[in-house]
Structure 1
Amino acid sequence: MKISGVDIRPGNIIEYENGIWKAVKIQHTQPGKGGAYMQVELKNVIDGRKTNVRFRSAETVEKVRLDTVEYQFLFADGDDLTFMHKENYEQIIVNRDMLGDQAAFLTDGMDVMLEMYDEKPISVQLPQFSEHEIVEADAVVKGQTASSSYKPAVLDNGVRIMVPPHITTGTRVVVDTGEVTYVKRAD
């Protein structure tokens, strides 16, 4: 499936220069002169090489069609993450690097989607939202609540995020696992 170069999003798997690449980071730039472009950091899913590519809106790339299979996270052993197929109970091990910063959001028994290319896992999709407890939050500075400022906080998995001033230690919050940002207070 062809997509425009400016429609690439983090996590997309594309075909580029006869290789299969995953978009890791993107930055949309619209200079004062000339057309807009998307600066994309790509990581080769086969050998792990990285490259930066600039895609203009007129350019198209081939988005790779992947088989998506539901797996359940079992446990971590060092940098190896073990997942189990939900139907035939077959286990598969992937390296923690495949998830990057998102690996911190894995919990035992979590259902994830593994994207396969030629029957090899190349990407792991976590649920979009995850619930966590705040274990450390800075105190609110007097007068700071008037503006829409955020303060740093640490989740129960050790990840640092920015939260609104009214969030305190012990509060359960919902976090966007893709953007690693605060969404709302948990119900």
Structure 2
Amino acid sequence: MLEPAQENPYPDTHVLGEGPEPHPQLRPVLALIGRWHGRGSGEYPTLEHGFRYEQEVTFSHDGRPFLRYESRAWLIDEAGTALRPSGREVGWWRVLPDASLEVVLAHPTGIVETYVGRARGSEFEMATRTVSLTPRAKEVTGMRRRYTLEGGELVVVQEMEAMGQPMRHHLMARLAFRKA
């Protein structure tokens, strides 16, 4: 017979001051911990039209030297009405003692990206080291991301190299910090 389920003694938290103490190596990324929400726009040469979206990003930790990352987005019309789900990704941001970053992100569309980058004050930049694709995934060969804390907002900019196109702008969003 199975024992009754025990509550997780090591939960993630996205609220500083609650849950486990952040690992000292997280100092360069502490300001990211939390839930962020806002709007953005996207474009790419292989798309007929640009698009608008809403996005929620959560950075949390469990006391070890990495962040858990989750992003969900949905397309919106010009009035801000939700149209349908869009991009979604989950992963881990590992923070090394020299403030360099190693990031792994997985998408439900069959794409897994590994990034290397650096935390520099209020800016976090990274570029793909590898992109792995399932047999039916869209061809993506490279990505660059920049997360910048600017006036109480998290500005997220992504460039993409995909489907025979060179690296170029793809997404930009401005996200505001959401209290728990």
Larger Rg computed on CA atoms: 1
Q: Which has the higher strand share?
A: 2
TM-score bracket, shorter-length normalisation: under 0.3
More RCO (CA 8 Å, sep 6+): 2
The normalised TM-score by structure 2 is 0.26
